[in-house]
């Protein structure tokens, strides 16, 4: 069980995060403080705009366990209506983490198996994909872009290697957070 609070991570330095052993990524975000703050700011912007329009924010999250947990807890503390479908990366996940994620009120399902999330895409109107992958961002982006239920929806991606620079979207405030608005 995680005893960390979000503020524990907002001030983490890049050097500190780069030196995390893979086991720490089960409970800690894989991005340093500034990058985490930028990602959360963009997610908050999507939540606010959806709620202002009278809609619930429904997000699909693809991230290592600690990043997914931080994001889910951030949104569960938010007073807005939101629901998350979470796919965590196998090497950064334990059954204890999945149990903690699945206990959060705003998490519909948390799993390492994408096939467990696919049936939910027809039942929930996911309006934003949050891709904060540890590895394989380009592949995850293509999967979202090619999925009929997701292809025109907003995307927020953590892209420290600028893999999406040629895609329609923008990097937010000189950060590694890439954003594509709903088409």
pLDDT the model gives residue 2: 56
Identify the CATH number of the domain in which residue 129 sits: 3.40.50
Global pTM reads: 0.92
Q: Has residue 1 been placed in a domain?
A: no
8-state DSSP, 114: G
Q: Which helix (H) or strand (E) holds 97?
A: helix 95-103
Domain that holds residue 112: 12-180
Number of structural domains (the chain) is 1
pLDDT the model gives residue 3: 57
- Here the tokens at position 82 are 């939101």
pLDDT the model gives residue 174: 86
3-class SS of residue 5: coil
Q: Has residue 120 been placed in a domain?
A: yes
Do 89 and 134 meet the contact criterion of CB atoms below 8 Å apart?
Answer: yes
What does DSSP say about strands 107-111 and 82-88: parallel, antiparallel, or unpaired?
parallel
pLDDT the model gives residue 77: 85
> Which residues does the chain have with pLDDT short of 50?
none
């Amino acid at each position: 069980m995680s005893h960390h609070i979000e503020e524990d991570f907002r001030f983490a330095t890049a050097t500190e995060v780069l030196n995390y052993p893979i086991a720490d990524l089960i409970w800690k975000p894989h991005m340093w403080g500034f990058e985490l703050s930028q990602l959360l700011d963009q997610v908050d912007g999507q939540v606010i705009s959806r709620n202002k329009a009278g809609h619930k924010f429904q997000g699909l999250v693809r991230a290592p366990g600690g990043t997914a947990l931080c994001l889910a807890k951030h949104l569960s503390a938010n007073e807005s209506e939101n629901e998350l479908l979470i796919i965590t990366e196998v090497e950064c996940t334990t059954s204890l983490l999945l149990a903690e994620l699945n206990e959060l009120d705003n998490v519909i399902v948390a799993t390492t198996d994408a096939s467990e999330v696919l049936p939910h895409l027809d039942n929930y109107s996911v309006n934003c994909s949050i891709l904060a992958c540890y590895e394989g961002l380009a592949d995850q982006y293509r999967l979202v872009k090619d999925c009929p239920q997701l292809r025109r929806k907003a995307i927020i991606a953590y892209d420290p290697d600028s893999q999406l620079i040629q895609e329609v979207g923008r990097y937010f405030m000189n950060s590694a957070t890439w954003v594509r608005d709903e088409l």
